[in-house]
Amino acid sequence: MRPLRGMTVVALEQAVAGPYATRQLADLGARVIKVERPGTGDFARGYDRRVRGMSSHFVWANRGKESLTLDLKDPRGAGVLRSLLAGADVFLQNLAPGATRRLGLDAATLRAADPRLVVCDISGYGQGGPYATAKAYDLLVQSEAGLLSVTGTPGEMAKAGIAVSDIAAGMYAYSSVLAALLERGRTGEGGHLDITLFEATVEWMGFPLYYSYEGAEPPPRAGAAHATIYPYGPFTAGDGRVVMMGVQNEREWRGFCERFLGRPELAEHPDHRGNAARDRHRDTLGPLIAARFAELTGEGAVELLSRIPVASARVNSLHEVWRHPQLAARGRWHQVDTPAGPVPALAPPGPASAAPRMDPVPALGEHTDAILAELGLTGPEVAALRRDRVV
């Protein structure tokens, strides 16, 4: 399924939020031209060297794109970009605040020249307001959005283990671009999207925000356990294997007491009737549950829970996720070419196609000559740009 075939996306992007958004568009068939700085490119290329000498972040978020190097501070480089935008459907950028305005690439200027263009700006805090010019790295946004206040243990806060604010912003940018293209199909008009890491993360904080509505006590940091539902979290089996399990309703709670704990009387005890009561008394209920898990192996506990049924999961390492039987059974692993050879890559979630788009991860500037030729530049003109390090 490639519904965006024929669409061209020009991206001035770096790090995670912008590249992740445009990778989704590429997966759906769009042509994505990634504009990078000559010589160094997207700085995420240098985050690490864990994938055959390439950056893990870059390989993950940049397949299916074409890499064009341009020095936008040189008028000739800026001219090339404007020529590209003249035929584009979407312009997406996540440069530092104010950078595109200084380059004359702000939404008002671009859309005045081409009202059909969809312009998507991704920033930390958006245009306007006291935080408009603030630097906004993922961990800093997690902090501002209150995520760290509910993540970790009672004694120590913790960040999410992935770049959750970047990913949230990237996904809202992706879905918003799709919506803008649908609207353009009806009206003929593009639009301006102002996506922020902060607002995307605060949106995902909806449950703890409402839980603490009007000054109520916020949910406590509860480690790997759920802060307000009990029992819902990790328990260690007798063989040391950690099992994650969760009771969601009273029917499951009764089955858990009868068939897992072997203590049917606990189901109707006043201290345990209803989730709110169980949450208040987790200090006394927890040791009873932990003692039963200690009598079983991890696999035995999972099997017994599944027969009740009560939901459970193994706490997998990343190496176990690579070998996860569900991903293998559904044929989710494919291959994507990179400058260092093919590597495995997950098919994009959603489409059930047996042949998802898995175009290569580009080398820095790999498509520069071809793109410039498309725009009508001659060999000597391209050579002059290379000599002057404009590309």
In the numeric block, the tokens 């995307």 are attached to 200
In this prediction, residue 354 carries a pLDDT of 65
Question: What proportion of the chain, given as a percentage, has pLDDT over 70?
Answer: 99
The arithmetic mean of pLDDT across residues 344-348, rounded, is 95
Question: How many other CB atoms sit within 10 Å of the CB of residue 64?
Answer: 26
Q: List the alpha helices (DSSP H) in the chain.
A: 17-27, 56-61, 75-85, 99-102, 107-113, 138-144, 164-187, 197-204, 206-211, 250-255, 275-280, 282-294, 298-307, 318-322, 325-329, 368-374, 379-387
In this prediction, residue 135 carries a pLDDT of 87
Asked if residue 159 and residue 86 are part of one domain, the reply reads yes
Question: How many other CB atoms sit within 10 Å of the CB of residue 312?
Answer: 18
Pick the last residue of a domain from 291, 315, 339.
315
Model confidence at 136: pLDDT above 80:
yes
Q: Is residue 301 part of a domain?
A: yes
Count of domains forming the chain: 2
pLDDT in tens, 179-210: 999 999 999 999 999 999 999 999 999 999 99
In the numeric block, the tokens 């913790």 are attached to 158
Asked if residue 198 and residue 246 are part of one domain, the reply reads no
- Give residue 148's pLDDT band: very low, low, confident or very high (50, 70, 90): very high
- Give residue 381's pLDDT band: very low, low, confident or very high (50, 70, 90): very high
Asked if residue 93 and residue 188 are part of one domain, the reply reads yes
Burial (CB < 10 A; 0-12, 13-18, 19+), residue 185, is: exposed
Asked if residue 266 and residue 174 are part of one domain, the reply reads no
Q: What residues pair up with 340 in beta bridges, in sequence order?
A: none
Distance CA 217, CA 363 (A): 51
Model confidence at 351: pLDDT above 80:
no
Asked if residue 363 and residue 237 are part of one domain, the reply reads no
Pick the last residue of a domain from 287, 315, 343.
315
Which one of the listed residues 114, 166, 194, 239 is annotated catalytic? 166
- Give residue 111's pLDDT band: very low, low, confident or very high (50, 70, 90): very high
Asked if residue 165 and residue 44 are part of one domain, the reply reads yes
Asked if residue 139 and residue 90 are part of one domain, the reply reads yes
Model confidence at 352: pLDDT above 80:
no
Asked if residue 281 and residue 191 are part of one domain, the reply reads no
Model confidence at 1: pLDDT above 90:
no
Q: Is residue 184 part of a domain?
A: yes
Tokens of 169: 């912003």
CATH of the domain at 101: 3.40.50.10540
Residue 309, domain extent: 232-315
Residue 122 phi, psi dihedral angles, 5° rounding? -115, 125
CATH of the domain at 255: 3.30.1540.10
69: number of CA atoms within 13 Å, CB side? 19
Asked if residue 63 and residue 100 are part of one domain, the reply reads yes
To the query of whether residue 166 is one of the catalytic residues in this protein, the response is yes
Model confidence at 225: pLDDT above 70:
yes
Asked if residue 253 and residue 132 are part of one domain, the reply reads no
